[in-house]
Chains A and B, each alone.
Chain A
Amino acid sequence: MKATAAAPPGAAGPPAARPGPGSRPRTRTRTRGRLARLSAGNATAYLGGGIVAATVLVALLAPLIAPHDPLDTDPAAIGLGLFSDGHLLGTDEVGRDILSRLMYGARMALLVAILPTLLALAVGGCIGLFSGYVGGWVDSVLMRIFDVMFSFPGILLALGIGVALGPSTTSLIVAVVVVTIPEFGRIVRGNVVSLRQEQYVEAASALGYGHGRIAFRHIAPNLLGGVVVFATLQTGRNVILSASLAFLGLGAQPPTPDWGQMLSGGRALLVTSPHVATLPGLAVVVLAVGFNLLGDGVRDRLDPRSRRSRAAKKDDRAADGGKTGDAAC
């Protein structure tokens, strides 16, 4: 939303830019509106960024701030409730401290969400760039392969790969990467196809630059904004996908602290100590919300189409007295 504030002063129409006796109150209102939108847009990004940053901090400092060793079991303290003596969030089905396991589990949650996103971005991005740039039958073949991969619901494909490779953190990461590659490939390819027609690309070609230089130095930097937004939102989706696979037993194996696996194990105590299963799930929700808010905020700041549509909608609202709303939801 800051993007709206950064729009040229005359973007809303000539009368607004024209100084005159009646223009000051309107300008003030407009400025206030812009400031409100600016802070609202930033608030989304800051809130999301704050949640993600806090999770990263907890993950990094887990050995220093965790009150107990996450692997220490206490048979005498199984399923302790919230705010128990020495265990703020209680203990799990084998007497391990839940707060400590949540803190250490943040490491795994971030690893299996961020690393697959980066790997898929690198592989899928290169395939998309190559496919969109080369075009022709190579493009057709690669897109048909992506079509087949899209014909699988992501979780099923990831599940199949996870089972075939055997349950482990590595196989979970591989599974999420494979599922995510076509998403990045399709996004990048679509943008490359349109950017290839741009004059600066034609100019670079006319100057005799090589294909690699044109693709990576002239086209790729212009893909960055959209890809960063998509990668942030995809990381949020990967938090949930990875937790789902871990819940089904395909991620890190016990006793490694992992939110999905903690939730699955906690089901045994659902009747007597429901917090054992629900707290790790809540951690997943909070982190996913954090990435989604951050992605929305980054989109508002980076995506020029989002800027334009918001500015246009603002003008529409101003024109018809606020009757129409934000159709992009």
Chain B
Amino acid sequence: MLTFILRRGLQMIPVLLGVTVATFGLGQIIPGDQATALLGPTSSEEDRAALRADLGLDEPAVSRYFTYLGNLFSGDLGRSLSFGRPVSEVLSERLLNTLLLSGTAIVVAAVLGVAIGTWAAQKPGSVRDRGLTVGVLFLNSVPSFWLGLVLIVVFSLQLRILPATGMTSIAGGGALDTAAHMVLPVITLAAWSLAVIARMTRSAVLEVIDNDYVQTARSRGIGEFHVVVRHVLPNAMPSVVTVIGLQAGFLLSGTVLTETVFSWPGVGLALQQAISSRDIPLVQGGILVIAVAFVLINMLVDVAQAYFNPKIKLA
């Protein structure tokens, strides 16, 4: 297992380098003079010259890339133009909020997705099974930002039972207050992943639910619940775990839209603010942080998959 993890870790290095090339490249594809594009056409020539010197725009792109890479290793992601502070500082104070939101969302999506998928697979072709198919089609076609707005309209503006935006009430509040603020963003963020996980669970459960060992367990008089939990789900888990892991990565990127709708103070909202002010260093930093997390999650998924299915280690 350790060899597998090491090998997978080594394979991750070129991908991570590719990610840094891509984020660096984003700063290079700005059309025209980068300093003018970043500071605006009304900026003074002195300011533009200072920014060019600061960003090393007079040097060749390859040399700038290695400087960028060196800075990354020392934790320097550049300076945010809109916040006037280091990007790493802006992102680090928001990262925990984003992880809280996306972490809760993936747990909700995984638990409900596996439960609903298993429930539907127990009676294929039934109303609940068809309901799942229709639900998956619908949720796959719903943009998260629209779902978020609809939830705000229904639960915050009409029914007035849940807060619409932010992370805490203006008057302040404890964990319960934060939990109440999390309900709608978590539903919004989890909905799409829940549909995907439920669909995959349904397929995986259907593949094993009629296997001989399951029939044997039933013939021994074991209750259906225990048959599913002890014999069906463990054998359906490898493919489900893969999907859950991939969805965890996608959820992180989905926070940009969800945090914007709910004004949740995380990395996604900072990215949205950076888009409005065309703060390229902050956009680069935010994308880099989420992409690196995405790559790390993918690696963890591979390790989890190898744990559940030892054949993968031999591949």
Binding site for B on A (CB under 8 A): 144-145, 147-149, 151-157, 159-166, 236, 240, 243-244, 247-250, 263, 267, 270-271, 274, 277-278, 281-282, 284-285, 288-289, 292-293, 296, 322-329
Residues of B in contact, count (CB < 8 Å): 63
Q: Which of B93-141 contact A (CB under 8 A)?
A: 121, 124-125, 129, 132-133, 136-138, 140-141
Binding site for A on B (CB under 8 A): 14-15, 18-19, 21-23, 26-27, 29-31, 37, 121, 124-125, 129, 132-133, 136-138, 140-146, 149-150, 152-153, 157, 199, 202-203, 206-207, 210, 249-250, 252-254, 256-257, 260, 271-272, 274-276, 278, 280, 283-284, 287, 290-291, 294-295, 298
Write out the residue numbers on chain B whose beta carbons fall within 8 Å of the beta carbon of A263.
145-146, 149
Whole-angstrom distance from the CB of A200 to the nearest CB of chain B? 32
Write out the residue numbers on chain B whose beta carbons fall within 8 Å of the beta carbon of A288.
140-143
Q: How far is the CA of A236 from the CA of B257 in the complex (A)?
A: 18
**B294 to A248, Cβ gap below 8 A?**
no
Q: How far is the CA of A90 from the CA of B27 in the complex (A)?
A: 42
**B157 to A160, Cβ gap below 8 A?**
no
Write out the residue numbers on chain B whose beta carbons fall within 8 Å of the beta carbon of A267.
149
Query: What would be 6 A-B contacts, judged by CB atoms less than 8 Å apart?
Result: A144-B18, A156-B256, A166-B30, A267-B149, A278-B153, A324-B206
Q: How far is the CA of A326 from the CA of B274 in the complex (A)?
A: 46
**A270 to B31, Cβ gap below 8 A?**
no
Given contacts A152-B291, A157-B22, A322-B125, contact A292 B29 (CB under 8 A): no
**A152 to B254, Cβ gap below 8 A?**
no
Interface on chain A toward B: helix, strand, loop, or mixed SS? helix
Q: How far is the CA of A151 from the CA of B206 in the complex (A)?
A: 30
**B157 to A156, Cβ gap below 8 A?**
no
Which of A144, A149, A163, A270 interacts with B26 by CB under 8 Å?
A163
Whole-angstrom distance from the CB of A196 to the nearest CB of chain B? 23
**B149 to A151, Cβ gap below 8 A?**
no
**B150 to A327, Cβ gap below 8 A?**
no
Q: How far is the CA of A51 from the CA of B298 in the complex (A)?
A: 37
Given contacts A148-B15, A164-B26, A325-B206, contact A153 B124 (CB under 8 A): no
**A153 to B253, Cβ gap below 8 A?**
yes
**A284 to B137, Cβ gap below 8 A?**
no
Residue of chain B at shortest CB distance from A283: B146
Q: How far is the CA of A263 from the CA of B211 in the complex (A)?
A: 49
**A148 to B283, Cβ gap below 8 A?**
no
Q: How far is the CA of A23 from the CA of B166 in the complex (A)?
A: 68
Which of A145, A289, A325 interacts with B125 by CB under 8 Å?
A325
Q: How far is the CA of A320 from the CA of B14 in the complex (A)?
A: 50
Write out the residue numbers on chain B whose beta carbons fall within 8 Å of the beta carbon of A145.
18
**A284 to B143, Cβ gap below 8 A?**
yes
**A160 to B283, Cβ gap below 8 A?**
yes
**Quick one: which of B199, B253, B254 has the most chain A CB within 10 A?**
B253
Residue of chain A at shortest CB distance from B28: A164
**A292 to B137, Cβ gap below 8 A?**
yes
Write out the residue numbers on chain B whose beta carbons fall within 8 Å of the beta carbon of A151.
15, 18-19, 291, 294-295, 298
Residue of chain A at shortest CB distance from B198: A329
Q: How far is the CA of A109 from the CA of B277 in the complex (A)?
A: 25
Which of B129, B132, B140, B256 interacts with A292 by CB under 8 Å?
B140
Residue of chain A at shortest CB distance from B117: A329
Whole-angstrom distance from the CB of B170 to the nearest CB of chain A? 17
Q: How far is the CA of A161 from the CA of B275 in the complex (A)?
A: 11
Write out the residue numbers on chain A whose beta carbons fall within 8 Å of the beta carbon of B256.
155-156, 159, 248
**B29 to A164, Cβ gap below 8 A?**
yes
**A148 to B22, Cβ gap below 8 A?**
yes
Q: How far is the CA of A148 from the CA of B290 in the complex (A)?
A: 14
